[in-house]
Amino acid sequence: MAWFVLVVSGVLEAVWATALGRSEGFSRPWPTAVFAVALASSMVGLAYALRTVPVGTGYAIWVAIGATLTAAYAMANGTETVTPLRVLLLLGLVGCVVGLKLTSH
């Protein structure tokens, strides 16, 4: 259960990071509200998961999921450029996350 919550919390990290960018310095109410709810939910989920998952592994996986999804979403909607190198680096990040999960106890 902790691993599932950790993954969901990582997804919520991507949600709050994207909403933060769209809030334009907290001047837009809806993106600001999405940011606040997603941030709080992500942190609560991370805290829950880290009760069972090792802190270093859990935090690295949480950050990697959030960073990968945030960058992938930005590339998919055209706000960041897509290059083969960027895609390869994101795939490498995902590979490292899988490796951390496979080697954790």
Each residue's pLDDT expressed in tens, for the chain with a length of 105 residues: 999 999 999 999 999 999 999 999 999 999 999 999 999 999 999 999 999 999 988 999 999 999 999 999 999 999 999 999 999 999 999 999 888 888 876
Question: Residue 53 has what pLDDT?
Answer: 93
Question: Residue 105 has what pLDDT?
Answer: 67
| Count of alpha carbons within 13 angstroms of residue 47, beta-carbon side | 6
Question: Residue 14 has what pLDDT?
Answer: 98
* DSSP 8-state secondary structure symbol assigned to residue 104: -
Q: Where are the alpha helices (DSSP H) in the chain?
A: 2-22, 29-49, 55-76, 84-103
Q: How far apart are the first and last CA of the chain?
A: 15
SS3 80: coil
Please check whether residue 26 is in contact with residue 3, taking contact to mean a CB–CB distance below 8 angstroms: no
